[in-house]
Amino acid sequence: MTSTVKTNELSQILAPIALDFKALDGVIRVRLASKVALIDQISGYIIQAGGKRVRPALLLLVAKALANGKETAHTLEMAAVVEFIHTATLLHDDVVDESTLRRGRETANAAFGNAASVLVGDFLYSRAFQMMVAPNDLRVMQILSDATNTIAEGEVLQLLNMHDPEVNEESYLQVIRYKTAKLFEASSELGAILAKASDAQREQAAAFGRHIGTAFQLMDDLLDYTASAAQMGKNAGDDLREGKPTLPLIYLLENGSEKERLLVRAAIEQSQDLPEDIFEQILLAVQSSGALDYTQAAAQREAKLALDCIAAFPKNEATDALFALCEYSITRQT
């Protein structure tokens, strides 16, 4: 099966759930409301920043695809839960990474301070756990609680990998699967559960989310070396400046010249003191070494595995959108 949606515009791909997305915005606003003014202020700031909302989109699309036209209960609430968990991780990430720019504007920690960002992240986590009991299904609670715990493990693994030029591809991929792909996997699996799909379909939906989530992160790592700040909504080269050994750098460490390897090792170990001219040298080396092609090929393999997982899904516009998302995951520029 191939997608009939031939576009790289995410809004067109997500057309089958456009009305759901509008309703989701309402759920998010209501559920974020708090009597504490600072929580309302920071929550509003986060909402206005936008974002692709790919994770809740996966939940909604998988539920719609597997229900094949039937109504599914609790999908909007659980989509909001997924978005809250994701947003909480971003708030905490930006504090840990000392980031100042996300989605083209100041990060919450830059605008409101680290303490407020961490505490509002905690509020989002706890609000998510308040909401996840709504379906009265232990599987839902188990998937979301396991995902939250795994993401935390991934954050710690990434912290251990920071400034470590010995990190190999296997260790790097483990961080991706824990920190990023796990919530994609949980979102897709929840969509299948809410659609009352079979166990086989649920397992395929989970695997689909895991693979497409990995593809998205691999492309993020590639775009960190190719996209402008205006495109990505963050500073180009942030990963290197934070001392993160992502796949393009790991490839260069293993396949570059001796001079390039020494340069990258020093940059990863001492990223905070990285002069701009050194970054430019590494950028040119990454672009000329085949590292970006290697990373792109890895993302394409994951997207192909994701496609295979949903090959037997019912044929409808939601399934078609899932196929289009696989293509989008490896062709996007933002």
Query: Mind giving me the DSSP string for 26-69?
Result: HHHHHHH--SSHHHHHHHHHHHHH----HHHHHHHHHHHHHHTT
- What average pLDDT does the segment 61-69 reach? 94
- What average pLDDT does the segment 230-243 reach? 65
CATH topology of domain 10-331: Farnesyl Diphosphate Synthase (1.10.600)
- What average pLDDT does the segment 29-52 reach? 86
- What average pLDDT does the segment 280-288 reach? 89
- What average pLDDT does the segment 38-45 reach? 86
Which secondary structure element, helix H or strand E, spans residue 172, and what is its range?
A: helix 169-176
pLDDT in tens, 81-90: 999 999 999 9
**Distance (Å, whole) CA 65 – CA 74:** 16
DSSP single-letter state for residue 98: T
Give the pLDDT score at 1: 42
More confident residue, 281 or 307: 307
Give the pLDDT score at 233: 47
**Distance (Å, whole) CA 69 – CA 62:** 12
Give the pLDDT score at 5: 57
- pLDDT of 277 strictly over 90: no
pTM above 0.85, yes or no: yes
Give the pLDDT score at 236: 56
- pLDDT of 6 strictly over 70: no
Which band of pLDDT confidence, cut at 50, 70 and 90, is reported for residue 232?
Answer: very low
More confident residue, 79 or 333: 79
Domain spans, the chain:
10-331
